[in-house]
Chain A
Amino acid sequence: MKEGWRIAAFAVVIAVLVMALAPYIWIVLTSFKTRLDALADTPVWLFTPTLDHYPEVFIGKGYLPLVWNSAIVAVSTTLLSLAVGAPAAYVFARHRFAGQEDLFFFFLTTRMAPPIAIVVPMFLLFTEIGITDHLIAVIIAHTSFTLSLVVWMMRGFFADIPREVDEAAQMDGLSRAGTFLRVLVPMAAPGLAASAILCFILSWNEFLYAFILVAFEGRTLTVGIPGLITPHGTLWGQVAAVAVVATLPIIAFTVLVQRHLVRGLTFGAVKG
């Protein structure tokens, strides 16, 4: 009886996993399929793989710089968010001042802001100061939501460090800024790394800001994908190849931060 339940539960778990993963596996398979296999009436699961699509799209169609752009944007966004966000998080974790919670809530709303509402005025403003079509425009736009992620996550990590640590450091002769840089930041390093990876993922995956704010040379990988879809004769093998390259680093990073993922995605409200 008990054993029966266990097997049934396991079967359900397997079924859920198949449903969750099959679509992704399919796109990975498609990226290695010949055009004939990809367009077959009956789904082809076993086939002779071809590696042609990758060079075709990344070299032939010049998609390689897009990977580079995505990486630059994601890394810069991450560094900017950490540099600006971590000190702010420290203040929220350690200091008490009037209106603190309201200010903190303001940081939350920035993360929630609908991109479609912000992107239009941003586009107009950036056109005005002439930074559209530069990656810097996307980096700034992305920071609008990654910054609050860093503040929210890092506040939690800093708050987890006992206040006595600060006090001990100050008794040892460090200034407050020194305490933050030399004691708290190293102690919160795992949290910093988790925040960094989540920032990277969010920025790398983002579409709308990048789509509206830059064109041509500055396109990121997510922006490049729709360009491959045409009403007729979409080369699905190439599309799939780009999709795989766009998603693989994210999956690798997900494995790295899975422990902190829940915390990051729920604004620190739930510790995973």
Chain B
Amino acid sequence: MGSAVLDRYVGVWFLTPALVLLLFILVGPFAFMVWTGFTDLSFALPNRDGNFVGFDNFRRLMRDPLFWDSFLLTVRFMVVAVAIELVLGFAIALLLFHQLERRRLVLTLLMVPMMLAPVAIGLIWKLLLQGDFGMMTYYLRKVGLLGDQQVLLSNPDLVMPAIVAIDVWQWTPFVVLVMLAGLMSLPREPFEAAVMDGARPAQILRDVTLPLLRPIIALVVLLRGIDAFKEFDKVFILTGGGPGTATELLSIYTYRMNFKDWDLGYGAACAFMVYFVVLILCAIFYKAVFWQEGRSRAKGRAGA
């Protein structure tokens, strides 16, 4: 009898551990972060042991030019990197879609960059881009893309493009993978219908492929966007935010406020801003995913 009652509420029993765990490891810290944002907690300065200061930290944040520089740098990094990854990834996915031989093998090899630990990627590229013996530095100088005395990672003008390039190297395969899966999941008939209607390849791409792929493209943009906005590991290893603040993305800046300056109240306000932007992107993602599911249901009915 007792076990029957237990079994009846199996949904509750099954869901509770996950919820409790998340409450403990995410909601708790999140609430704590928000609270810290309203205090003057600092491990570096005397007498700042968590007194309530209202919106002081957020006011300071709004007026902090370094924060805004960092914020804009992050947004630019996100937009440029994701745009390049999207275009490049889509092109390669299209190529692989039509190139059938050994596709599985090609895909597996292509996955390597995106599966490596970001720290390892930072390390690999730090080695490749060393000024005096870096393999990539050598070849870039050889083909004239880099001046003889220039070193990518310590040149304030070149370091951000270099980091974008590394991000593109790491994540384009992801875009390829998802886009290819998307392309392969598309029904064949609209393409054949377009062929029979007399459309040329470029017209088919514009009128059929891209509209059908729109949900997938939205998905990729948002997933990549969120990840790029949170970028930390690679840049931390590669430059640590330098030279100067040339690569100080928001995560790095937040890290510095918390663990270099030990200004935890202010750091929490920074962290909150990062979280806030990510949450907005998440909400858009959620809508986009549901929009797509609504579409596929409609697709099943009208056969279009």
Contacts and interface: CB of A to CB of B under 8 A. Distances in A.
| Chains A and B share a contact (CB less than 8 Å) | yes
Interface of A: 6, 9-10, 12-13, 16-17, 19-21, 23-24, 26-27, 30, 38-43, 83-85, 87-88, 90-91, 95, 97, 105-110, 112-118, 120-122, 124-125, 140-141, 143-144, 147, 151, 175-177, 180, 201, 204-208, 212, 222, 225-226, 229, 236, 239-240, 243, 246-247, 250-251, 254-255, 258, 261-262, 265-267, 269-272
Contact of A144 (B22, B36, B232): B22
Contacts of B125: 23
Contacts of A229: 123, 126, 237
B62 interface: no
Given A21-B109, A110-B26, A151-B18, A270 B278 contact: no
Nearest to B110: A20
Contacts, number: 260
A107 B22 contact: yes
A116 B25 CA distance: 14
Interface string B129-147: 0001101101100000000
Contacts of B110: 16-17, 20
The A contact surface, by secondary structure, is helix
A26 B139 CA distance: 13
Given A151-B18, A250-B117, A26 B124 contact: yes
B254 interface: yes
B44 interface: no
B29 interface: yes
Interface residues of B, number: 95
Contact of B133 (A39, A108, A141, A177): A39
Contact of A87 (B14, B135, B251): B14
Contact of B118 (A19, A205, A251, A255): A205
B113 A24 contact: yes
Interface in B238-275: 251, 254-255, 258-259, 264, 267-268, 271-272, 274-275
B79 interface: no
A112 B3 CA distance: 38
B254 to A, nearest CB: 5
B227 to A, nearest CB: 9
B18 A85 contact: yes
Contact of A105 (B95, B123, B219, B286): B286
Interface string B1-33: 001101110110111011101101110111011
A23 B124 CA distance: 7
A3 to B, nearest CB: 13
Interface string B67-110: 00000000000000000000000001001101101001011111
